[in-house]
Structure 1
């Protein structure tokens, strides 16, 4: 079972996670995101020790279509994005991870 958290993003974003003890952090400076972000995310996806990938929601726009599809469809590791407004995609992330919608409005 994968137990590591991987954080991908700018050095400013990953620093807090490093201080909290996250060991797998991939720094991708803002001016290099269009060139290096795909590679960093693919590395986290292929790492068997990683169970959760954390990124900024805005960074998804810098991913190629293929990598974005792969990471958004991945169940393990699961992608958790931060930012982007209240609840942006969290419901979908939970639904994808466990297979059911816990907040079904019809009940």
Structure 2
């Protein structure tokens, strides 16, 4: 059973999570996003200990199409994105729905 939280992103993004006790992380400096982000995300997706993958929402734009599709459709680990231009209540609602399998805010 996957129990670890992993964080991928810039050192500024991952630092707070590391201070909070997250042990799995990948720092990807801004100037290396185009080349290093795919590899870091693929590594976390392949780690059986990772249950939740946290990324900055705008970083999804820097992923290749294949890796982006993999991470967005992954059930375990589930992707949680924070911040950025695309973040909003609809995005969080979809993330929760994907993580637990039901829509808690479904209207009758």
Q: TM-score per shorter chain, which class?
A: over 0.9
Determine whether 1:92 maps to 2:94: yes
Alignment of 1:1-107 (within 5 A): 1-84=1-84, 85-105=87-107, 107=108
Compute the displacement of 1:97 (Å): 1.6
Superposed CA offset, 1:49-68 (max 9, x none): 00000000000000011001
Q: Give TM-score, length-normalised by structure 2.
A: 0.93
Q: Give TM-score, length-normalised by structure 1.
A: 0.94
Structure 1: how far apart are the matches of 2:33 and 2:53? 16
Structure 1 counterpart SS, 2:61:
helix
- Superposition CA RMSD, Å: 1.1
Structure 1 counterpart SS, 2:89:
coil
Compute the displacement of 1:86 (Å): 3.2
Aligned residues: 106
Structure 2: how far apart are the matches of 1:22 and 1:88? 26
